[in-house]
Amino acid sequence: MTQTERIETFLRNQTAHWNAGDKQAFLEDYQHVASAGLSIEYVGRSPQDGWPVLEQMWEQQQAKILVEPLTKIINGNEAACHIRNVIKGTDRAIVTIELYRFEEGRLFVRYFIKQ
């Protein structure tokens, strides 16, 4: 499997597992690509250890948000995703641009959020 295929598989699976409410599979998706570490940054704040951020994101948002990827671009070891985060039961959505950088078992994620 090429690097592009591995990244595409990760992006597709983590979205599917989020939307299905499968927390274990969702976290395993990240553990598979970030076995050496995970950093998550909400742009405008400092990067953080990603594992507690993922746990908090799941607990606070998963029951409320359905993820709809609009565009995914993969170049080398990086991906940029334009996501529509639909607030369940409404016609409202939160738009994000998500940047992923994969480096030797580490994953660096940056979220740009349009409120």
Q: What digits encode the pLDDT tens for the residues 35-58? A: 999 999 999 999 999 999 999 999
The predicted structure's pLDDT at residue 14? 98
pTM for the whole thing? 0.96
Backbone angles phi, psi at 33, to 5 degrees: -95, -10
The predicted structure's pLDDT at residue 49? 98
**Counted domains in the chain:** 1
The predicted structure's pLDDT at residue 104? 94
- Calpha distance 78→9 (Å, rounded): 13
* Complete edge-to-edge strand list for the sheet that includes strand 65-75: 48-49, 37-42, 106-114, 93-103, 78-87, 65-75
- Calpha distance 32→55 (Å, rounded): 16
Residue 104: give the domain boundaries: 3-114
Residues of the chain falling short of pLDDT 70: none
- Calpha distance 67→21 (Å, rounded): 11
The predicted structure's pLDDT at residue 115? 72
The predicted structure's pLDDT at residue 92? 96
User: For position 18, which CATH number holds?
Assistant: 3.10.450.50
The predicted structure's pLDDT at residue 93? 97
Backbone angles phi, psi at 95, to 5 degrees: -95, 135
